[in-house]
Amino acid sequence: MAQGILAAGAYIPRLRLQRASIAQAHGWFNAALKGLGKGERAMAAWDEDPVTMAVEAARDCLGAQDRAGVEALRLASTSFPFIDRLNAGIVGDALGLDEGIRASDQAGSQRGGTSALMEALLGRGTTLVVAAEKRPSLGASPYEMTSGDGAAALLVGEGEVIAKLIGHATRTADFVDHYRTMENPTDYQWEERWIRDAGYAKLVPPVIKAALAKAGVEAGAVSRFIMPSTLGKVGATMAKMAGLPEASVADTLMEICGDTGVAHPLLMLAQALESAKAGEKILVVGFGQGADALLFEVTPANEKAKRGLGVAGHLARRKEETNYSRFLTINDTVEMERGMRAEADKQTAISALWRNRDAVTAFKGGCCKTCGTKQFPKTRICVNPNCNAVDTQESEPFAEKTGTIQSYTADRLTYSPDPPSCYGMIRFEDGGRWMMDFTDADEKALEVGMPMKMMFRVKDFDTQRGFRRYFWKAAPAASNKGA
């Protein structure tokens, strides 16, 4: 049985920076930015990065299904927080995947997402393919305008697939349209006309035609053509050169999200699958030092598939942001005086992190076998005063549980990269409680009894040693449902 896509998911941060705010700030210096000052771009919060966004996209993809069947995890990004640490390993632990999975990071090219997807589809077993991006950019640069933060996830395997791969082709060519290095962490891009004429026009059409020929499908039969690009009208031009229908060119989400880099072809594919009908043919192209082309045929199973928020839900879950200074500050684009309270040593005891990884990364507590009491964290002694049994607790996952606020504080005295620091006591729906940091929460909207869900986020940064800690935070549940 051939491999195909079993499920799809996405994650887009709720903050949407208005491009007009950027243009207003830098238009005096670069008048060309005013032409890009329409719409909005997805903006990650201070405690979000490719790892946290990958976890949320994967949760959206997997839902409540059993994760024991996932045999491999491929994580693609060009903005990994760690250069020498398996980022996919963090994601796998946070998702509670088995330690026996084959996990790998894929980086180095903007087509890393499509390449990872192609490798999974041409392989065997059940593979979770995730792509996430949070690219740094210089102030007043076009990339600051056109980029967006986000992630997408696709579960690949055999069975009742929602889309099957019927054709594919790839080409590798060291065509350098832009680049980043360890010494220069922001993109340097070459001239747009040359990229369009010598890059896209020469590399993309032959790969499309090869994929169609392998599938035995005429170009006119393609229903949706997905090819992200920050350059205007490139998708339409490539479609015309390859003989694809003009109506098949998919919206790149530039106006309402921005280009999410490695994740964007998968994000657009996930969006297409949310409304695609059986029999539709979807062509996906990833571009970067060559090109990948993947041709899918949508199956009847797609229309009855269970879905999470997906792209549509996350686009609806938005909060407009007009404070450009906030964007600069939380992305460390400008140096701020953060005060004495920010000077506390944040060294992480890596040995303790390893010993407590089930609680810290996977957010697992305990459930007493004697009385059924659930608690976090897991301890040797049951917290139920009427039980107090010893060594009776089994692991209990808390990450997918919801809870309510029992008490809360909006603290402006303690240091936070994005004040105020909001936190409080969360009582979980079926037992257990924990004092937690809040995220994606508006100070004035918080109230006792508010339903909250768990989200994987950055806990804090150790700027002295270049390490970041992750943990779970509580977010308003209503805002995660598009409210």
3-state helix, strand, coil in the chain (%, to 5): 30, 30, 40
Structure tokens at 401: 């549980």
pLDDT in tens, 314-362: 999 999 999 999 999 999 998 888 888 888 899 999 999 999 999 999 9
* Residue 347: CB atoms within 10 Å: 10
Higher pLDDT, 64 or 152: 152
Q: Quick check: 384 and 369 in contact, CB under 8 A?
A: no
d(C-alpha 288, C-alpha 172), whole Å:
9
Residue 208 has a pLDDT of: 98
**pTM value?**
0.96
Residue 64 has a pLDDT of: 77
Q: Where are the alpha helices (DSSP H) in 252-364?
A: 264-273, 310-316, 324-330, 350-355, 357-360
Rounded to an integer, the average pLDDT of 431-460 is 97
pLDDT in tens, 21-54: 999 999 999 888 888 899 999 999 999 999 999 9
Give the list of residues 6+ apart from residue 408 with CB closer than 8 angstroms, or none.
422, 423, 424, 425, 438, 446, 448
The rounded mean pLDDT for the chain is 95
Strand partners, 468: 461
Which of 201, 157, 211 has its CA nearest to residue 177?
201
Domain ranges, ordered by start, for the chain? 4-330, 401-483
Residue 1 has a pLDDT of: 63
Strands (E), 213-314: 224-226, 281-287, 290-298
User: Helix crossing, 201-215 with 234-242: angle to 10°?
Assistant: 50
401-483: CATH topology is OB fold (Dihydrolipoamide Acetyltransferase, E2P) (2.40.50)
Residue 479 has a pLDDT of: 54
Percent of the chain with pLDDT over 70: 99
Q: At residue 480, does pLDDT exceed 70?
A: no
Q: Which residue has the tokens 């040359």?
A: 194
Dihedral over Cα of 232, 234, 240, 245: its sign: negative
Structure tokens at 433: 């409680």
Q: Quick check: 412 and 420 in contact, CB under 8 A?
A: yes
Q: How many CA atoms lie within 13 A of 320 on its CB side?
A: 6
Distances (CA, A) of 434 to 93, 288, 404, 428: 21, 45, 11, 8
CATH number corresponding to 4-330: 3.40.47.10
Distances (CA, A) of 284 to 100, 168, 381: 31, 9, 54
* Residue 277: CB atoms within 10 Å: 10
At residue 95's C-alpha, the angle toward residues 89 and 99, to 5°, is 50
Residue 364 has a pLDDT of: 97
Residue 382 has a pLDDT of: 97
Length of the chain: 483
Residue 481 has a pLDDT of: 42
d(C-alpha 27, C-alpha 258), whole Å:
20
Residue 483 has a pLDDT of: 36
Assign 66 a pLDDT band (cuts: 50, 70, 90): confident
Rounded to an integer, the average pLDDT of 188-206 is 96
pLDDT in tens, 282-305: 999 999 999 999 999 999 999 999
d(C-alpha 468, C-alpha 301), whole Å:
41
